[in-house]
Amino acid sequence: MASSSFSVTNYASKSNITDFNFSNQQSKNLLLLNFKFSRNRRNLLVTKVASRNQQLQKLSDQSVEQETTDTLDNAILVPDSESVISSIKYHAEFTPLFSPEKFELPKAFYATAESVRDMLITNWNSTYKFHEKMNVKQAYYLSMEFLQGRALLNAIGNLELSGAYAEALRKLGHDLEDVARQEQDAALGNGGLGRLASCFLDSLATLNYPAWGYGLRYKYGLFKQLITKDGQEEAAESWLEMGNPWEIPRNDVSYPIKFYGEVATGPDGHKKWVGGENILAVAYDVPIPGYKTKTTINLRLWSTKVGPEYFDLKAFNSGDHAKAYEALKKAEKICYILYPGDESHEGKTLRLKQQYTLCSASLQDIISRFERRSGDTLNWDEFPEKVAVQMNDTHPTLCIPELLRILMDIKGLRWKEAWGITQRTVAYTNHTVLPEALEKWSLNLLQELLPRHVEIIRMIDNELIDTIIGEYGIEDLELLNEKLKQMRVLENVELPASILKLLLQPDEIAAVDSVEEDKEESEEVTEPTNEDDELKVKVEKDAEVSKRVSFDPDPKSQKMVRMANLCVVGGHAVNGVAEIHSEIVKNEVFNDFYKLWPEKFQNKTNGVTPRRWISFCNPELSKIITKWTGTEEWVLNTEKLVELRKFADNEELQLEWRKAKRINKEKIVWFLKEKTGYLVSPDAMFDVQVKRIHEYKRQLLNILGIVYRYKKMKELNADERKNKFVPRVCIFGGKAFATYVQAKRIVKFITDVGATVNNDPDIGDLLKVVFVPDYNVTVAEVLIPGSDLSEHISTAGMEASGTSNMKFAMNGCIQIGTLDGANVEIRQEVGEENFFLFGAEAHEISGLRKERAKGKFVPDPRFEEVKKYVRSGVFGPYNYNDLMGSLEGNEGYGRADYFLVGKDFPAYIECQEQVDKAYRDQMKWTKMSILNTAGSYKFSSDRTIHQYAHDIWMIEPLVLPN
């Protein structure tokens, strides 16, 4: 046999384990030996290397199949460090991605991850078998994003194996933290939408709920953000370049996906979608472990391809290589990029293909599982009793027509039955009030790409029209017309002929024609004799015309499909994600639907997992919380955090709290130095705003406040500056969408301000401005624990909820923000005195914009001063007229300060002065910090998932037997 995968020469000095040579049979048996099971969760079976041969011989005489079955059914993996070492060695040799000569950090990571994956697969298999056997109702969470972050530390933390793995790697010559840093973040998401989905999966597994997630396996993610002298630049993310050790390809699980083609009608009237372009969606599974439980659920990701028969060998051999693999590239590119640019027709088509692929493959898989579980007792009316489908925002909306298509065209159900099943199965989470985020798709594009689905959407629209007419009647046609325009799934599309006949009866048409004829005759006889008479006749004509309500579409506008309306109509539940957001959803965004179906609408305030966002990313604070609450139960039951309120004034606790914060701030110092080259002082206040770059999130307000602060500093001498200003490190992070020009201007502005301020010797450590490139979950895990102040300053009424505000509060970070999204509830829980509040409120926003349009807004002199300062060129030669111009004027696209930066600017800088004042009193600040952590108990994703499970999905926990 060949020598070991490890270099004994290189690592003999680092490890006391140097025997790496096994026979093939020994290696096979060792894999079983690596992870023995404990019958009582805590007793360890230690694999001693010295007695390995004797144990291997014993195992050879046993039935591997029987032992595996027994252990799956009755036990939980509890390996010690020695068996972990054996497993890591096994994977380094027999699951190699690297050459055998060395055992360096990248190889150590992959071998370690594959070692952990063995346990996850075992637990996943146990969970899967148990759920199949029990045939309980299961929830399926469909999302275009899952922002997972690094998985290694999270997995071994949930498995309670951090100590065993740390010791094992130490014996093998590596530090667990160094090994973990080799992992790249999975590029499957971008912002809060995807991170929420990942937190939910963690909680679903931890709480033992039967559930799966479904998403797409993006090859290049959104993009890797580079910060250059020109601002943000985008490059392809290479997260899959070395493979993903956590995923399990399921080559036997694939489903056909069709695009284009036409709808054929059989002799019996049955519809069938034929022709077109055909691809395959192939499953990749990612096990999601729960915390302190054997339950391991699944995230199934779809990748796209076509079979080898679509490779045109003849074209390839003739030299037309592009034609030869055209079909392959068309299929593969569907899963290349998250949110491809959609300004072109091709971009829109690709996005729609992505959404349909997610919906179709997932539903085919869900239905296949339902049929398999049902066996000979298949009853489609029971489908909603066994399946709950949750659409995370509008991206998976095509689930609704796709489920109907499968039920009717493939399973043979009638419309009424299929429609009832669909409505009872599907539910919708709304994440935005922004009009551009309430998806609309061109009817023509949908007709071209998914012709059968357009037919089904028209049927849904017809059902809705009947409901609206039944609710409002036909007596007041103006009111009815308004409701139809607001509520229909199809926008600017002609009404069905049968409905038009109902609304415009022949005798009414004749009556209108008669009035017109009489009027024409009258006008011929009696000509107006003066201007007053002429005006009177015109008014009468206009009044008569106004009585005739037109239901005709506007020929100048596009015909669209409103996906949010389709979600509301097609599902049984609609939820907002924060109390204020849910009220806006009911009273503004979907008010007409709320009046029609008030029982559909719910609130489910978002939450985040306390495992990743306190316990694992902030071990220093976690130890303190455990000590002062007297229990580790807070990791599962965050209500225990409330106990900290009793000790908020305790000087000993405050001292420990500040020490932990200092340790975390020092980590940030070195992180920023490595990532940006800027060296900052841990003695300064760390003021952080990290989230997607968008005008409504108002990073522009933040940086303009910093510019104002800098300008005032420059106007003072050194002693005055030190006395007046608290030292601050202002940290930004987040990606601007590649085609969002204004957001990219903001990134450029922030980096230019940083380049000027950070190199100003007069300012020194009093003010630093740092933009962290390529913000992701891993960066958040460094920044959040060490932050002092967190900025959540969106225009009120525009942030649905937010989840980063919850993570910051959990880690004792005090917030400055508006009454928007979850800020409202966070402020209620942590105490108004422990939250820095400013800005206009949601109910004022519309009126303020109307005042602006009328030219009534008078900008604060300080706001004019800071804009003038920016335009002076102090931050470099870049022309910021377009950026500053967006804050000026009273109307027009990209102008008129739609997000009210100028309106809230004076209140914001005055509030920042209060922040400085509070920070000077460190005892007061520490108390505020403790009370923020104590008040964050409500924002655990465990609590949120319980609410979804009980109120929407109607599922119960299912604990695996030991």
- Could you report the per-residue pLDDT of 645-696, keeping only the tens digit for each? 999 999 999 999 999 999 999 999 999 999 999 999 999 999 999 999 999 9
pLDDT digits (tens, 9 = 90+) for 44-60: 333 333 333 444 344 43
Hey, what's the torsion of the CAs at 557, 558, 564, 568, to 10 degrees?
80
- Alpha helices by DSSP H, listed for 606-758, are 610, 619-629, 651-676, 699-714, 718-724, 741-757
Asked if residue 280 and residue 165 are part of one domain, the reply reads: no
Q: What is the CATH number of the domain that holds 593?
A: 3.40.50.2000
Residue 15 scores a pLDDT above 80:
no
Query: What is the spatial distance between Cα 901 and Cα 897, in angstroms, rounded to a whole number?
Result: 6
Model pLDDT, residue 185 = 96
Q: Are residues 291 and 350 in the same domain?
A: yes
**What's the average model confidence in pLDDT over 51-70?**
40
Identify whether the C-beta of residue 288 lies closer than 8 Å to the C-beta of residue 205.
Answer: yes
- Decide which of 580, 608, 636 is a domain's last residue: 608
74 in a structural domain = no
Are 196 and 90 found together in one domain?
Answer: no
Render pLDDT for 301-358 as a digit per residue (tens, 0 to 9): 999 999 899 888 999 999 999 998 999 999 999 999 999 998 899 999 999 999 999 9
- Whether 438 has a pLDDT exceeding 70, the answer reads yes
Q: How confident is the model at residue 547 (pLDDT cuts 50, 70, 90)?
A: low
Residue 38's φ and ψ, nearest 5 degrees, are -100, 140
pLDDT at position 75 is 44
Q: State how far the Cα of 947 lies from the Cα of 886, in Å rounded to an integer.
A: 42
Span between the terminal Cα atoms of the chain, in Å:
40
- Which residue stretches of 375-397 are H helix? 383-386
Name the band, by pLDDT with cuts 50, 70 and 90, for residue 27: very low
CA-to-CA separations, 634 to 195, 512, 593, in angstroms, rounded: 21, 73, 40
Q: What local confidence, expressed as pLDDT, does residue 102 receive?
A: 87
Which two structure tokens, joined as six digits, stand for 201?
Answer: 């999966």
Average pLDDT over residues 825-848: 97
Collapsing DSSP to helix, strand or coil, 815 comes out as strand
For residue 24, pLDDT beyond 70: no
Task: Check whether 150 has a pLDDT greater than 50.
Answer: yes
Pair 189, 147: CB distance under 8 Å: yes
Residue 503 within a domain:
no
Query: Phi and psi of 119, rounded to 5°?
Result: -70, -40
Whether residue 867 is predicted with pLDDT greater than 60 in this model: the reply is yes
> Distance between CA 768 and CA 780 in Å, rounded?
19
pLDDT (tens digit per residue) in 77-135: 568 899 999 999 999 999 888 888 889 999 999 999 999 999 999 999 999 999 999 99
Q: Is residue 560 part of a domain?
A: no
- Our count of domains for the chain comes to 3
Q: Describe the crossing of helices 861-871 and 901-920 by its angle, rounded to 10 degrees.
A: 100
Q: Are 79 and 35 in contact (CB under 8 A)?
A: yes
Q: What pLDDT score does 454 carry?
A: 98
Strands 601-603 and 573-576: parallel
Same domain assignment for residues 741 and 799 = yes
Are 106 and 255 in a shared domain?
A: no
298 and 400: one domain?
Answer: yes
Output the average pLDDT for the chain. Answer: 89
| Bridge partner list, 608 | 940
Residues 761-772: what's their mean pLDDT?
97
β-strand partners of 274: 262
- 466: Cα within 13 Å, side-chain hemisphere: 7
3 state SS of 140? strand
pLDDT tens for residues 469-509? 999 999 999 999 999 999 999 999 999 999 998 887 555 44
pLDDT of residue 530: 57
Q: What are the backbone dihedrals phi and psi of residue 227, each rounded to the nearest 5 degrees, phi first? A: -110, 115
**What is the pLDDT, as a whole number, of residue 58?**
44
324-338, 535-549, 815-829: range with lowest mean pLDDT:
535-549
- Asked if 316 and 324 touch (Cβ cutoff 8 Å), the reply is yes
Cβ contact 623:819 at 8 Å: no
State residue 531's pLDDT score: 55
Q: Is residue 512 a part of any domain in this protein? A: no
CB 206 within 8 A of CB 405: no
836-837, strands of its sheet edge to edge: 767-772, 728-733, 685-690, 789-792, 814-817, 836-837
Q: State how far the Cα of 954 lies from the Cα of 137, in Å rounded to an integer.
A: 8
DSSP-derived 3-state class of residue 632:
coil
Q: How far apart are CA 627 and CA 216, in angstroms?
A: 42
Per-residue model confidence (pLDDT) at position 461: 98
Residues 707 and 853 in one domain: yes
Burial code (b: 16+ CB inside 10 Å, e: under 16) for 749-764 equals bbbbbbbbbbeeeebe
Of 866, 861, 855, give the one whose Cα is nearest residue 895.
Answer: 855
Using the 3D structure, point to which of 577, 608, 639 is the last residue of a domain. 608
Give per-residue pLDDT as tens, 169-198.
999 999 999 999 999 999 999 999 999 999
Q: Which two tokens stand for residue 929?
A: 């910090």
Closest by CA to 608, choosing from 786, 822, 434, 782, is 822
Contacts of 537 (CB under 8 A, 6+ apart): 523, 528
C-alpha dist (Å) from residue 100 to 17, 85, 116, 173, 635? 17, 17, 21, 16, 41
pLDDT of residue 285: 98
- Nearest-CA neighbor of 797 among 462, 435, 486, 548? 435
CB of 336 closer than 8 Å to CB of 242 = no
| CA atoms of 70 and 562, how far apart (whole Å) | 53
CB 216 within 8 A of CB 354: yes
Give yes or no for a contact between 729 and 922, defined as CB atoms under 8 angstroms apart: no
Sign of the torsion angle spanned by Cα atoms 97, 103, 109, 113: positive
Q: Give the rounded distance of the alpha carbon of 506 from its chain centre.
A: 53
The CA–CA distances, whole Å, from 762 to 363, 714, 718 equal: 62, 8, 7
Give the integer Cα–Cα distance in Å for 690 and 790. 9
* pLDDT (0 to 100) of residue 180: 97
457 burial class (0-12, 13-18, 19+ CB within 10 angstroms)?
Answer: buried
- H or E segment to which residue 500 belongs: helix 497-503
* Active site residues per annotation: 431, 691-692, 697, 803, 807
The number of C-alpha atoms within 13 Å of 471 and in the hemisphere containing its C-beta is 18
- Asked if residue 941 has pLDDT above 60, the reply is yes
Angstrom distance (rounded) from CA 820 to CA 793:
8
pLDDT at residue 626 above 60?
yes
Look at residue 669 and tell me if it is in a domain: no
pLDDT tens, residue by residue, 783-803: 999 999 999 999 999 999 999
* Whole-number pLDDT of residue 101: 82
Over residues 861-888, the mean pLDDT reads 97
pLDDT (tens digit, 9 = 90+) per residue, 564-611? 999 999 999 999 999 999 999 999 999 999 999 999 999 999 999 999
Strand 211-216 relative to strand 138-142, pairing: parallel
Q: Clarify whether residues 143 and 161 are in a common domain.
A: no
Task: Name the percent of the chain in helix, strand, coil, to the closest 5.
Answer: 55, 15, 30
Element spanning 688, H or E:
strand 685-690
- Judge whether 767 and 727 are in contact, CB under 8 Å: yes
Q: Residue 450's Cα: distance from chain center in Å?
A: 26
Give residue 881's domain range. 681-939
Residue whose structure tokens are 């841990």: 682
Whether residues 900 and 753 fall in one domain: yes
* 592 in Cβ contact with 568 (< 8 Å): no
Same domain, yes or no, for 277 and 379? yes
Give CA–CA dist 605/830, Å, rounded. 16
The Cβ of residue 473 has, within 10 Å, a number of other Cβ atoms equal to: 11
Q: Is residue 314 part of a domain?
A: yes
Query: Is residue 61 over pLDDT 70?
Result: no
Residues 6 or more apart whose CB falls under 8 angstroms from that of 619 comprise none
- Banded model confidence at residue 893, pLDDT cuts 50, 70, 90: confident
Are 203 and 90 within one domain?
no
Q: Which two tokens stand for residue 87?
A: 């497993």
List beta partners, residue 685. 728
Instruction: Name the 3-class secondary structure at 835.
Output: coil
What is the per-residue DSSP string for 554-613?
-TTS--EEEHHHHHHHHSSEEEESSHHHHHHIIIIITHHHHHH-GGGEEE----B-HIII
Q: Do residues 163 and 201 share a domain?
A: no
As a whole number of angstroms, the distance between CA 826 and CA 626 comes to 22
